[in-house]
Amino acid sequence: MAIKVKKRNFLKKKKIKQIKEELGEYGDLLQGKKNVEILEAEPNSFILVDGEPYIIIIDEKPFPTLKAALANQIDAKTVTVDMGAIRFVSNGADIMSPGIVDTSEGVEAGDIVLIIDETHGKPLAIGVSLISGEEMVENDSGKAVETKHYVGDDIWNFEI
């Protein structure tokens, strides 16, 4: 799937503020940035920060990209997966409860979470939690996180 660019414009401060609020704890990615643009593309639009795709709009909702997570120290809600799950995560699979070894405190259903590996703590994917963090660790079966963006997908490989 190729990303087709339609148009690119700078965002007004009011729109940046709105996106920051929607991003919640990830809103700091836009803090004090001078060059914030929207890149309207198919199938998903991006918010560019100083020319880098830091935020992707999926289903009308902003999500941070993994490049933004790697380039910035983000203190966000995390889900830690065991090393056996990495192969599946890097192929875009949703995160299943048996592969989860830990979560940060306060993870609730509907939260944007960063999926990290247990050995290096590196971000592998970003998704939306389907259940609470406690349930993720306790459950022996079932889907826990819906993956939205992962290392190696079109968003990861996207360059301007």
Report the phi/psi class of residue 5: left, alpha or beta, with left for phi > 0 and alpha for psi in -120 to 50: beta
Average pLDDT for 11-22: 88
Question: Does pLDDT of 156 surpass 70?
Answer: yes
Structure tokens at 145: 């996180």
Question: Does pLDDT of 26 surpass 90?
Answer: no
With a pLDDT cut of 70, the percent of the chain lying above it is 99
What pLDDT sits at residue 94?
A: 94
Tell me, yes or no, whether 54 and 24 share the same domain: yes
Question: Does pLDDT of 1 surpass 70?
Answer: no
What pLDDT sits at residue 2?
A: 66
Tell me, yes or no, whether 82 and 65 share the same domain: no
Question: Does pLDDT of 115 surpass 70?
Answer: yes
Tell me, yes or no, whether 58 and 18 share the same domain: yes
Average pLDDT for 123-141: 91
Question: Does pLDDT of 131 surpass 90?
Answer: yes
Q: Is the peptide bond before 43 cis (omega within 30 degrees of 0)?
A: yes
For the four alpha carbons of 16, 17, 22 and 26, in that order, the dihedral sign comes to positive
- Return all residues near 53 (Cβ < 8 A) that are at least 6 apart: 39, 46, 47, 65, 67, 68, 155, 158, 160
Tell me, yes or no, whether 144 and 97 share the same domain: yes
pTM of this prediction?
0.83
Question: 44-81: per-residue pLDDT in tens?
Answer: 888 988 888 889 888 888 888 888 888 877 778 899 99
Question: Does pLDDT of 158 surpass 90?
Answer: no
Question: In the listed set 70, 98, 120, which residue is the last one of a domain according to the structure?
Answer: 70
Expressed as residue numbers, the domain containing 15 is 4-70
The total of structural domains in the chain comes to: 2
Tell me, yes or no, whether 66 and 82 share the same domain: no
Integer Cα distance of 24 and 35 in angstroms: 20
Helix (H, G, I), strand (E, B) or coil at 41: strand
Name the average pLDDT for the chain: 87
